[in-house]
């Protein structure tokens, strides 16, 4: 039973960054924009969050700078891909490489292969939910996660509401399904494409921050390890639907984490 609790806790623990990436990227998918830059945006979120906290020790500034810099990548992608009608695959791959290069350059300037927050207390960021933490089995799985992890799972349902039960979500889907029809009814299609891409940037920023700052307290280059591309695959498998795409992402991610696979094999052997 303890092994099963550990597997399920790790499932929640590891899933948050990629869920946030999926939830952000699905809006671009619905707006008919292939946002290949999710990987680079997530890496930037991981890098800037650690670097900012390392330099300032201020969590509010860390959140602000992380989101602001990732939005800047989103604006660059939007301008080149939407306004200038560039090839979004080439633009996205360029942003992925630039993000890695910037992080690598800063690490070289710091004369280090990684950035580690030596005295950072990761446990201080974890939230033990009253009442729930006392429930056997359930409490050990759902309690004791950082705030962005809880936000990721709450956002699945919030994004579902935004996508299917708000005027903004309907307009985004109209733009993606028929841009000419959207223009015919007076919609500013570029605005909705920009908005969709920038929502993805915010999601990637929070996902990267959760991965590096909240979970590990360190940054090493390429630590996202292709999670942005896994998110893209999950979005396409789930056809841009929040719940289905998130489930695909969770299942795929667990299969790609060696420690999780080993625990699952051990549990299967016990059964």
Q: What is the spatial distance between Cα 225 and Cα 253, in angstroms, rounded to a whole number?
A: 11
DSSP state of 214: I
Asked if residues 220 and 114 have their Cβ atoms less than 8 Å apart, the reply is yes
What would the pLDDT profile of 24-79 be if each residue is shown by its tens digit? 899 999 999 999 999 999 999 999 999 999 999 899 999 999 999 999 999 999 99
Helix ranges (H only) for the chain are 2-30, 38-56, 59-78, 88-109, 138-142, 147-165, 167-177, 179-184, 189-209, 227-237, 242-256, 258-270
Q: Domain range for residue 98? A: 32-116+140-225
Share of the chain above pLDDT 90, in %: 64
Considering only residues 6 and 109, tell me which one the structure prediction assigns the higher pLDDT: 109
Task: Label residue 130 exposed, middle or buried (CB < 10 Å: 0-12, 13-18, 19+).
Answer: exposed
Within a domain: residue 162? yes
Q: Evaluate whether residue 235 is within a structural domain.
A: no
What does pLDDT average to over the chain?
88
Query: What total number of domains does the chain contain?
Result: 1
192 in a structural domain: yes
Q: With a cut of 90, say whether residue 133 has pLDDT above it.
A: no
> 66-124 pLDDT, tens per residue?
999 999 999 999 999 999 999 999 999 999 999 999 999 999 999 988 999 887 887 87
Q: In terms of Cα–Cα distance, which of 152, 161, 130 is closest to 11?
A: 152
- Tell me the torsion sign for CA atoms 158, 159, 163, 168: positive
The verdict on residue 216 lying in a domain is yes
Q: How far apart are CA 266 and CA 88, in angstroms?
A: 43
Half-sphere exposure of 205 (CA within 13 A, CB side): 21
Q: For residue 240, tell me if it sits in a domain.
A: no
Q: What is the CA radius of gyration of the chain?
A: 19
Is 10 domain-assigned? no
Asked whether residue 265 is domain-assigned, the answer is: no
Say what the pLDDT of residue 123 is: 80
**226 φψ region: left (φ > 0), alpha (ψ -120 to 50), beta (else):** left
Task: List, for residues 165-187, the tens digit of each pLDDT value.
Answer: 999 999 999 999 999 999 998 99
| Count of beta carbons in the 10 Å neighbourhood of residue 77 | 29
| Cα separation, 119 vs 99, whole angstroms | 27
Instruction: Identify the pLDDT of residue 135.
Output: 81
Confirm whether 244 is domain-assigned.
Answer: no
């Amino acid at each position: 039973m303890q092994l099963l609790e550990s597997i399920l806790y790790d499932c929640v623990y590891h899933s948050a960054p990629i869920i946030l990436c999926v939830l952000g990227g699905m809006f671009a998918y619905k707006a008919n924009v292939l946002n290949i830059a999710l990987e680079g945006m997530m890496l930037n979120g991981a890098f800037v969050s650690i670097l900012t906290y390392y330099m300032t020790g201020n969590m509010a500034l860390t959140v602000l700078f992380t989101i602001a810099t990732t939005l800047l990548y989103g604006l660059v992608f939007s301008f080149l891909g939407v306004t200038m009608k560039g090839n979004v695959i080439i633009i996205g791959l360029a942003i992925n490489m630039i993000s890695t290069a910037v992080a690598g350059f800063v690490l070289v300037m710091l004369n280090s292969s990684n950035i580690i927050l030596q005295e950072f207390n990761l446990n201080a960021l974890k939230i033990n939910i009253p009442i729930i933490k006392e429930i056997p089995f359930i409490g050990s799985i759902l309690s004791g996660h950082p705030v962005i992890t809880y936000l990721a799972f709450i956002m699945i349902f919030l994004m579902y509401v935004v996508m299917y039960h708000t005027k903004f979500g309907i307009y985004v889907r109209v733009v993606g399904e028929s841009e000419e029809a959207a223009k015919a009814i007076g919609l500013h299609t570029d605005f909705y494409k920009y908005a969709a891409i920038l929502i993805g940037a915010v999601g990637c920023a929070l996902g990267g921050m959760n991965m590096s700052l909240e979970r590990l307290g360190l940054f090493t280059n390429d630590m996202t390890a292709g999670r942005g591309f896994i998110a893209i695959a999950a979005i396409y498998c789930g056809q841009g639907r929040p719940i289905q795409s998130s489930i695909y992402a969770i299942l795929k991610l667990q299969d790609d984490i060696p420690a999780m696979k080993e625990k699952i094999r051990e549990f299967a052997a016990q059964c």
